[in-house]
Structure 1
Amino acid sequence: MTGKNRPRDMRQWLAHLARTDRLAVLREGVPLKHTLAAMAKLLDGHKAAYFPRPGGHAMPVVSGFMAQRAWIAEALGVESAGLLEAFRTAAESPLPWREVEAGSAPCQEVVLRDVDLLAQLPIPTHSEFDSGPYITAGMVIARNPVTGVQNVSINRIQVHARDRMAILLLPRHLHAFYQEAEARGLELPVAVVIGADPLTLLASQAITPIDYDELEIAGALHGEPLEVVKCLTSDVRVPARAEIVIEGRLLPGVREEEGPFGEFPRYYSAKEKREVIAVDAITHRRGPVFHTIVPAELEHLLLGSIPREATLLSHLQRSFPGVLDVHLSMGGVGRYHLFVKFRKRREGEPKNVLLCALGAHYDLKQVIVVDDDVDVHDPKQVEWAVATRFQADRDLVVISGAQGSVLDPSTTVGVDDIENLPPALQGIGAKMGLDATRPLAYAGHIFTKVRIPGEEEIDIAAQIVPNAVVDWETGTVG
């Protein structure tokens, strides 16, 4: 798709994938418990999966429509190499949204005030030991109770009653809004948006300061202000062309059990008391499509990693102009392992770069800095650089006792009472940096990368004789 033809809603994007043979329609009636997620996982990265009448529900489910980096770039109208720059430009130049009249937006064509979440929405149960059905692709939108500025995030949400859901709030902006409201004894109105277009979903994951509305970044990604509409039960504004909106309130002083749940590190998070949303209404388009993200698979990992990469690249380049590219590896679950492509000018610089990166986001656990002849998007090349340019006694940096991801299970090793571990002690672990760059000066060709002259210019397909048959007695080709 071109930059002028970016998808305005999820349906346009799904239609585009279908036209280009990247959407698989599964048989009707696939069970919502485990089977739907299993089928979507098998198609992950190859085709989006569309499930008509899953579990007998009239509402279809879709998954995996952002499961390739190239697809996300395509939705934005850029080449893959330009994806981070395009996202960074949008994040730095947000466009205020444009409000449409309440009740006139597609997402409010149908209004349900007598709520029964599991009867009205086809919510899957994904992994083997998940404690129940989960909304995994819901953008949670709330307003700062002090300033009124909105925040958008994707949080896991367990549905455990007709009109009640438990939500995981990590120590980020939504959690800060809730803490402020709770301290005042107030409910915090929220909207859970399901079925947004791919660019708005991507914008929701931007790493920004507090009071920076990600829907304005979505507008910049679209190249025009995003249409929003006021919720029917609160002042929260939501994307007008979304498929489904769940309107509710985060309750002060209320906690209910949530979990276990299979999270992005591909392990289960423990059952704990979590914050609770009381649901007041569901609105949706006519003939809505429910979007689910299979946890820990490509759609999940890419949605989080690309905005983080753009933020990390911008952060590093402010201090180190020699930083050319960054990549959060899929083997590092798109969060924990960062590869940095760097044009070194002085010895010792790579260690400064990796220290700067480790301080940029607490999720980062390992940073590898490589030279500008290494493609950081190819893990084999990065491993080759570590194998041939790194020595642990010289090039390794280890920092103990640092704040890391609270979802990293390795941080709990040796903790006897995990369930009662205070939040202030969760996620404490070690950071590691590897300088896998070659020395600036070396004798002969000892660190010269082997290449064959002309290999980049040869079109090998054009040199292969089609349908050739070799006579193995004479060696002739016919």
Structure 2
Amino acid sequence: MNIRDAATHGTLSTFALPWASNRSETSALTLRDWLAHLAKTGRLATIERPVALEHELAAIAKRLDGTQAAFFTQPGGKGVPVVSGFMSKRGWIAEALGVEEAGLLARFSAAVAQPVASRVVDRADAPCQEIVHTNGIDLHALLPIPTHSEHDNGPYITAGLVIARNPRTGVQNVSINRIQVHGPDRMAILLLPRHLYAFQRDAEAAGDALDVAIVIGVDPLTMLASQAITPIDHDELEIAGALHGAPLPVARCVTSGVHVPAFAEIVIEGRILPNVREPEGPFGEFPKYYSAKEAREVIEVTAVTHRRDPIFHTIVPAEMEHLLLGAIPREATLLAHLQRSHPAVKDVHLSVGGVCRYHLWVQFDKKREGEAKNVILCAFGAHYDIKQVVVVDTDVNVHDPAEIEWAIATRFQADRDLVVIAGAQGSPLDPSTTVGQPDDAPSHLQGVSAKMGLDATRPVVYPEHVFTRVRIPGQDTVDLHALVAADNSAFDAYVSRDHG
């Protein structure tokens, strides 16, 4: 199958992104467009030999992570190829958005602030519904669903956009949840206490199932939009429309009223059953540890629709595609939140070492003593995942771990600049929060965490050059290309002189 085979249904005008410049005006911005661009620029590795869905596929994708996306043409003997890692570098995501890396957060924040309503299209104009299965569904036979990590309890869908409607208001929510495929038409899903969880609990309280759609294989902008942190009843597909610069074409599901991206590769339709729980896990999660087996909500599959020749997307857990998809939308939200109370906050970064969730670095133009501690407290209130915050001055690059460590080493004193908050809500997926808890601890006791803030800013006023950073005039402007010789012939001639 040629990944350059873009859909010919419907229309979608977009920003003039460099990687989409060779598309026809009638083709949509799709996963295939992006993969074709990566292939053209040497960033797509095609694996043509058969690979096993259990562990081998994930192992190969992990080795290529951050260097090339992996495109498997024969995964597990299935006729559907698998792709992984197409958003595994920060620079690639900026490129997909048509901005420099420095403009990533501003571009995403602008889309969140000005969403664009989706446009419903007929099934004839929705490639995701070219093929429809409603009877005798067998997910294992239809789709190449990998088993990723060593102790994972079976195959998992890791890159599915889960779309559902609020039972009270009808407004959609989009999220990515891990989904274990239990049987031909039955899956278990992890619901963390966020919007989808609230929808399911409302439906269950009324004795109703909750209709959902799991969308697999969308373009990078729609993928990124799905991770936006917004108040309830904000449809992330409208943020995708804003990132595209035009309404996103959506199609109504075959078996429910849920709307899904029309140019997706695969859609699994189903419903979360009320008052039904089945074991799910263990599963290797983003903190690079396994989460335990627990009773989870259950999805009963009602239909599968897809393109004639679909592509299955899988995210290798805890690797860069997984981490960055969560980091960038969170950074944009955290930056906007902090700047509302502290306009002197200039930049933020969720570090890879902190699994792009737990450790936040904040660049701040401090004018008064004590301000940095207020920024720390504000950050903790912005998202419960945040476990550690480091605030640094504007001369420190928050995207460079060595710079952060240097600021802590030279501007921080624990007895003066440390903030510790005990017993706060943290991430339930952080295994350190379970220490001392029984294995069957109720949900309201899970994820209790301590928070730590480090004020690594220099004093507002300091004597002479005590906190002045050492710099050499001209170090940032010297033109090495013009100065450095193309070869070392002058050096060779010098040391070969006869000094006898």
If the TM-score is normalised by the length of the shorter chain, which range does it land in? Answer: over 0.9
Q: Would you say 1:4 and 2:16 are equivalent positions? A: yes
Alignment of 1:258-407 (within 5 A): 258-407=280-429
Question: Partner residue of 2:25?
Answer: none
Asked if 2 retains the 8 angstrom alpha-carbon contact of 1:398 and 1:432, the reply is yes
2:71 and 2:270 map into 1 onto residues whose CA distance is: 28
From the superposition, tell whether residues 99 and 473 of structure 1 become closer, same or farther in structure 2 (CA, over 3 Å). Answer: closer
Amino acid at match of 1:38: A
Asked if 2 retains the 8 angstrom alpha-carbon contact of 1:102 and 1:232, the reply is no
For structure 1, the residue ranges without an aligned partner over 5 or more in a row are none
1:463 and 1:276 map into 2 onto residues whose CA distance is: 65
Question: Partner residue of 1:463?
Answer: 483
Q: Would you say 1:23 and 2:44 are equivalent positions? A: yes
From the superposition, tell whether residues 216 and 472 of structure 1 become closer, same or farther in structure 2 (CA, over 3 Å). Answer: closer
Q: Would you say 1:44 and 2:56 are equivalent positions? A: no
TM-score w.r.t. the length of structure 1 is: 0.97
1:342 and 1:476 map into 2 onto residues whose CA distance is: 54
Q: Runs ≥4 in structure 1, deviation > 4 angstroms?
A: 470-474
Q: How far apart are 1:28 and its partner, in Å?
A: 2.1
Q: Would you say 1:106 and 2:127 are equivalent positions? A: yes
Asked if 2 retains the 8 angstrom alpha-carbon contact of 1:3 and 1:78, the reply is no
1:474 and 1:436 map into 2 onto residues whose CA distance is: 48
1:461 and 1:41 map into 2 onto residues whose CA distance is: 36
1:274 and 1:462 map into 2 onto residues whose CA distance is: 63
Q: How far apart are 1:467 and its partner, in Å?
A: 2.5
Question: Partner residue of 2:24?
Answer: none
Q: Aligned to 1:211, which of 233, 238, 241?
A: 233
2:358 and 2:491 map into 1 onto residues whose CA distance is: 55
Name the SS for the 2:162 alignment partner.
strand
From the superposition, tell whether residues 471 and 187 of structure 1 become closer, same or farther in structure 2 (CA, over 3 Å). Answer: closer
2:262 and 2:16 map into 1 onto residues whose CA distance is: 20
Q: How far apart are 1:446 and its partner, in Å?
A: 1.1
From the superposition, tell whether residues 475 and 424 of structure 1 become closer, same or farther in structure 2 (CA, over 3 Å). Answer: same
Name the SS for the 2:489 alignment partner.
coil
Amino acid at match of 1:47: Q
Question: Partner residue of 2:8?
Answer: none
Q: For residues 398-429 of structure 1, what are the alpha-carbon distances to aligned partners after superposition, in whole Å with 9 as ceiling and x for unaligned? A: 000000000000011122x22x1100000001
Q: Would you say 1:120 and 2:142 are equivalent positions? A: yes
1:452 and 1:429 map into 2 onto residues whose CA distance is: 44
Amino acid at match of 2:453: G
Q: How far apart are 1:472 and its partner, in Å?
A: 6.0
Q: For residues 139-192 of structure 1, what are the alpha-carbon distances to aligned partners after superposition, in whole Å with 9 as ceiling and x for unaligned? A: 000001111000000000000100000000000000000000000001111000
Q: For residues 187-230 of structure 1, what are the alpha-carbon distances to aligned partners after superposition, in whole Å with 9 as ceiling and x for unaligned? A: 11100000011000100000001111000000000000000000
Equivalent pairs: percent with the same residue? 68
2:496 and 2:93 map into 1 onto residues whose CA distance is: 48
Asked if 2 retains the 8 angstrom alpha-carbon contact of 1:255 and 1:273, the reply is yes
Amino acid at match of 1:233: T
Q: Would you say 1:412 and 2:424 are equivalent positions? A: no
Q: Would you say 1:67 and 2:79 are equivalent positions? A: no
Name the SS for the 1:54 alignment partner.
coil
Q: Select between 406-415 and 336-345 the one with higher mean Cα deviation.
A: 406-415
From the superposition, tell whether residues 474 and 377 of structure 1 become closer, same or farther in structure 2 (CA, over 3 Å). Answer: closer
Q: Aligned to 1:58, which of 71, 79, 87?
A: 79
From the superposition, tell whether residues 355 and 220 of structure 1 become closer, same or farther in structure 2 (CA, over 3 Å). Answer: same
Asked if 2 retains the 8 angstrom alpha-carbon contact of 1:403 and 1:428, the reply is yes
Name the SS for the 2:317 alignment partner.
coil
Question: Partner residue of 2:114?
Answer: 93
